[in-house]
Amino acid sequence: MHPWHKRLEGTGKRALARVAALVLRRPTRALPAGLRRVLLVRVDDRVGEALLTTPLAVALKRLQPPPAVEVLVHRRTARVLEDHPAIDRILALDRRLLGLGPLAPGIRAVRSAGPWDVVVDCGNWEVPSVTSALIARLVAGTAQVIGPAVAPTGPLHDVPVPARTDTRSELAQRLHLLSPLLEPPRLLPTFRTPRVSTSLGPFLAQVRASPHAVLVPGGRLGWRRIPPWLFGVAARVLTSLGRTVIVAWGPGEEDLGHTVVSEAPGAQLAPPTDLDGLGALLAAAGCTVSNNSGPMHLSVAVGAPTLALFLKMDPERWGYGVAPHAVLDLTPAIDDRGRAALEVERAVTAFAAGLGSAGPS
């Protein structure tokens, strides 16, 4: 159960959404026949959430003629979407004084960058974001707002879209938000061509030269991280199959990386990398084993086959289970050390066998 202050905050936001829906109510209008400019709104500060916006941008660019696709994101995730080939402009939200509503500096700045034909609130149905829905409505001006048809935020959208009932996939549901505009295609997240430093180049060349695998044992939320010793199990399996194992790490995770390396003879600690360097490393190796984390989404986005190890989260909702990618839910086995190790061994063996031994394509 959430702490009392979080429950109180949630109650306040839900009440605010209901009041705002009444105040901002306007007559129903048809969507425009042709799209010139579309704004995608996702103001979450997580890397994975930013990457989950990219399939929508790619799908919109397939329209003829293709509209300009712009995105409104959290300042921390603007870097994730820079130079993406399907995104024409990135707007980073200034969150100061958002309580002023339409008078907030950030809202006024975004509105001045319009107008758009359509604004899409790229939220979800499972945990509706009042903040995202309100921001989408306030920056839209006269543009039609599309978003999830779910209480209490649905009434803030001109075109509320019911959730699909045949899938729990977050990716499929996000693409479904575009169903009023197009037939949603099946797409995966994508990333720019990584901007690699010259100092990292020789190391990447070595990785491309022979079969490698990258383990990413870190992640933002510790409670859903797989224990380091299980990554050690994965590393030993991959080593036995002829792959050199590289353990990647992010800020504050170097000790975690060393712990995994100590569990697997022959494994190597990756050099320090930024987002682009990590993306380039994952692409070079062409074989990733990761927690359910931002790097999991990044690995898929750069085209690297990815096995995601899940704990206390729904793999069908957040994972990529279609080959060459795979998921393993360790939640039922995590308290049984022998069972968890056996499941990781089997999953990693099957995943690596499906890739062959030739390394990245």
CA nearest neighbour of 54 among 34, 74, 82, 35: 82
pTM, to two decimals: 0.92
pLDDT digits (tens, 9 = 90+) for 163-199: 999 999 999 999 999 999 999 999 999 999 999 999 9
What is the Cα 1 distance to its own chain's centre? Answer: 25
250-274 confidence digits (pLDDT tens):
999 999 999 999 999 999 999 999 9
Band of residue 311 on the pLDDT scale cut at 50, 70, 90:
very high
- At 146, phi and psi to the nearest 5? -105, 140
Q: Is the pLDDT of residue 90 over 80?
A: yes
Residues in the chain: 361
With 90 as the cut, is the pLDDT of residue 99 above it?
no
Average pLDDT over residues 90-97: 95
Q: Are 146 and 120 in contact (CB under 8 A)?
A: yes
**Contact, 217 vs 256, CB < 8 A?**
yes
Does the pLDDT value for residue 88 go beyond 50?
Answer: yes
| Calpha distance 342→337 (Å, rounded) | 9
Which residues does 270 contact at the CB level (< 8 Å), separation at least 6?
A: 214, 246, 247, 248, 249, 257, 281
194: cis peptide before it, omega within 30°?
A: no
Residue owning tokens 């693409």: 175
Cβ–Cβ < 8 Å for 243, 212: yes
Element containing residue 39 per DSSP (H, E)? strand 37-42
**Residue 91, helix vs strand vs coil:** strand
